[in-house]
């Protein structure tokens, strides 16, 4: 479990580390989206993640 958390931290940190200005603009655009749109995209990400875990878990 700790390995998974560490990998998520590495992947999530790449954006702000490599492209801080683009990351800031991305977050600004994201903050201007409607809550329903963010909820829909979040749900899609959860489903894709769960399906990926199901197929990739050893």
Identify the residue with better confidence: 58 or 47.
Answer: 47
pLDDT 10s digits, 40-52: 999 999 999 999 9
Residue 11 Cα distances to 15, 32, 35, 37, 39, angstroms: 8, 24, 25, 23, 22
Mean pLDDT of 1-10: 90
Helical ranges in 1-58 per DSSP H:
2-18, 20-31, 35-56
- Whether residue 16 contacts residue 23, with contact meaning beta carbons closer than 8 Å, is answered with yes
Q: Which domain holds residue 46?
A: 2-56
The number of distinct structural domains making up the chain is 1
Mean pLDDT of 21-43: 96
Two structure tokens written together for 46: 């959860």
Mean pLDDT of 11-25: 96
Q: How far apart are CA 37 and CA 42, in angstroms?
A: 8
- Whether residue 38 contacts residue 30, with contact meaning beta carbons closer than 8 Å, is answered with yes
pTM of the model: 0.69
Query: pLDDT-based confidence at 3, cuts 50/70/90?
Result: confident
């Amino acid at each position: 479990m700790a390995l998974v958390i560490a990998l998520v931290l590495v992947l999530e940190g790449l954006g702000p580390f490599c492209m801080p200005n683009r990351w800031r603009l991305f977050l600004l655009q994201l903050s201007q989206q409607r809550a329903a749109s963010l909820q829909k995209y979040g749900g899609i990400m959860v489903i894709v993640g769960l399906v990926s875990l199901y197929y990739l878990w050893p």
